[in-house]
Structure 1
Amino acid sequence: MNAEYQQEFVDVEGARLGLQIYPEPEGVADAPVVLISPAMGVPARYYRTFATALRAAGLAVAVADLRGTGASTPRPSRDCSYGYAELATDVGVVLAALKARRDGRRTVVLGHSLGGQAALLHLALHEGHDVDGLALVAVGLPWWRSYPGARRYGVLPFTQGIAATARLLGVWPGWGFGGRQARGVIHDWAYTARTGRFPQLDGVDAEAAIRAVRTPVLAVSVDDDQYTPHETLDHLCGKLVTAPVARERYTAAQSGARMDHFTWVRAASPLAGRVARFAARLPTH
């Protein structure tokens, strides 16, 4: 049965972020804390089954809605454009709000898709962070050349068409992909798809900053992922030249269910155990 969470909110300049905090795992003292950073357009409540599995594996769990999604504001509009820089900052704001709960415990940020990119960028752009580990699940840089076979030839027109629409309308309405998104988020996402690189963020070379990240990483791609197949995560991991990376695949045989970019969340008990083992072995700050 899914556990009930406590809904809280964290204020940051220009936004209010929804934060779901789950009860402590039973019988586990000073359990490592896992903060889940969701995929583009996916509300925090979607992760309830996964959060329950993580708790059963002995982890304390919180899930933060991305800016403009779920319980978080502001709603993306022509007058409200933000991008990857703000999403990366929001990760730090939520971690600060959880500081009292995290003190004395290992902290893992677990990012799914866009949430994983935001988490990685937070670590890269904020050298003084106190995160002990980063778990990337179904995350990849959607560079069109990294897609296998003929799929790559559809990625570029798909991503750049969405970016063109966002520029024209001042916002991406969410027509069939990603939910309603700020044009800045779509601009930065489309740049990664076109170039295979992160854009400069607030004048900082994000690519160079990522190469300097030393935080241990668990990088897991998912079978039958229609948006970030295994090769896209391989490309992203290639940028982590300093961090220790455990690169793994989560297979349908392991999960016992057919999966894709989203449905792995509902068949993730074995993966939750793997995240718990990763957290338990981390050195602490």
Structure 2
Amino acid sequence: MSANPEYAQEFVDVDGARLGVQVYPEPAGPSGAPVVVIWPAMGVRARYYRPFAAALRAAGLAVVVADLRGTGASTPAPSRACRYGYAELAGDVGAVLAALKPRLDGRNRLLLGHSLGGQAALLHLALYGTDAVDGLALVAVGLPYWRSYPGARRYGVLASTQGIAAVARLLGVWPGWGFGGRQARGVIRDWAHTARTGRFPALDGVDTEAALRALRLPVLAVSVDDDQYTPHATLDHLCGKLPAAAVVRERYTTAQAGAPLDHFTWVRAGGPLAARVAAFAAGLPRRA
């Protein structure tokens, strides 16, 4: 563990990878506050979420932010030797929850995913069950199914996502040319599958679509105004896969934020959204 004025940097080892985990100080107020574990967007480092972590703590929540495998403080760095994809990212969520368990016992815990991090959190719950968490918040998350995009833009989405996948297959890794940072080809393969088909691939022999349909837990699903990558309709498509979950579907608007928004900048204008997440967490059934 290493010290930082804002958070403690810790690490979780899993299957030859090392996941960087930033643990923020407990919020002011009574002990035992609900804990939010944040999973970032593709290619986005955990430290980018510091403003949002501060807003969540000010709203009374304990905060942990994990780097996705291969990003930020997490290893391995994506290369031709990497074979991991969505199955491993989903498993990483469980590894971090297990490592945090002594600090989570008796407290409500909420997974909060942004973009790819939201998909990883959702797939973890589908594959491994919901016993370890009490709720899920999805912010600027969507399935980038090309048919969900308006007008002619859908054809650009289809071409770009499949082109990126073709490059990753050819080179053995996605170099991060203008999108997503450097990524393992398995991650890009699975992401491109969702864009092409509107469905998650089967993972470890599990029909993820069927598992998602059976998922039962409270979900706060928030799309963001002017999101260039996962506009409102892409989250609507994703929420349609959760008929058994108690989904609360909302939009975070520029008027609420008091600032311009997009797929990334909501993190720096997230005070009102943090308050909404705290209210959602407060409404979850109390963990014994």
TM value normalised by structure 1: 0.98
Q: 1:185 aligns with which of 184, 187, 192?
A: 187
Q: Please show how residues 31-46 of structure 1 align to structure 2 within 5 Å.
A: 31-46=33-48
What is the match of residue 225 of structure 1? 227
The reply to whether residue 280 of structure 1 matches residue 288 of structure 2 is: no
Deviations 1:171-206 (A, max 9, x none): 000000000000000000000000000000011000
Counterpart CA distance in 2 for 1:129 and 1:10 is 20
Counterpart CA distance in 1 for 2:112 and 2:19 is 17
What is the match of residue 202 of structure 1? 204
What is the match of residue 79 of structure 1? 81
Conserved 8 A contact 2:130-2:217: no
Identity of aligned residues (%): 80
Give the counterpart letter for 1:171 in structure 2. V
Conserved 8 A contact 2:143-2:194: yes
Deviations 1:76-115 (A, max 9, x none): 1101121000000000000111111111111000000000
Counterpart CA distance in 2 for 1:191 and 1:134 is 24
SS in structure 1 of the partner of residue 71 of structure 2: coil
Q: Please show how residues 82-231 of structure 1 align to structure 2 within 5 Å.
A: 82-127=84-129, 129-231=131-233
Structure 2 CA distance for partners of 1:246 and 1:3, relative to 1, 3 Å: farther
Report runs of 4+ in structure 1 exceeding 2 Å deviation. none
What is the deviation of 1:130?
Answer: 1.5
Structure 2 CA distance for partners of 1:240 and 1:164, relative to 1, 3 Å: same
Q: 2:248 aligns with which of 224, 235, 246?
A: 246
Structure 2 CA distance for partners of 1:123 and 1:237, relative to 1, 3 Å: same
Q: Which moved more, 1:146-155 or 1:70-79?
A: 146-155
Unaligned segments of structure 2, at least 5 residues: none
Conserved 8 A contact 1:207-1:239: yes
What is the match of residue 57 of structure 1? 59
Give the counterpart letter for 1:80 in structure 2. C
CA RMSD of aligned residues (A): 1.1
Q: Which moved more, 1:53-62 or 1:120-129?
A: 120-129
Counterpart CA distance in 2 for 1:153 and 1:58 is 44
Conserved 8 A contact 1:3-1:23: no
Deviations 1:125-157 (A, max 9, x none): 012632100000000000000112221111000
Conserved 8 A contact 2:93-2:120: yes
Counterpart CA distance in 2 for 1:162 and 1:182 is 12
Counterpart CA distance in 1 for 2:131 and 2:183 is 27
The reply to whether residue 68 of structure 1 matches residue 70 of structure 2 is: yes
Unaligned segments of structure 1, at least 5 residues: none
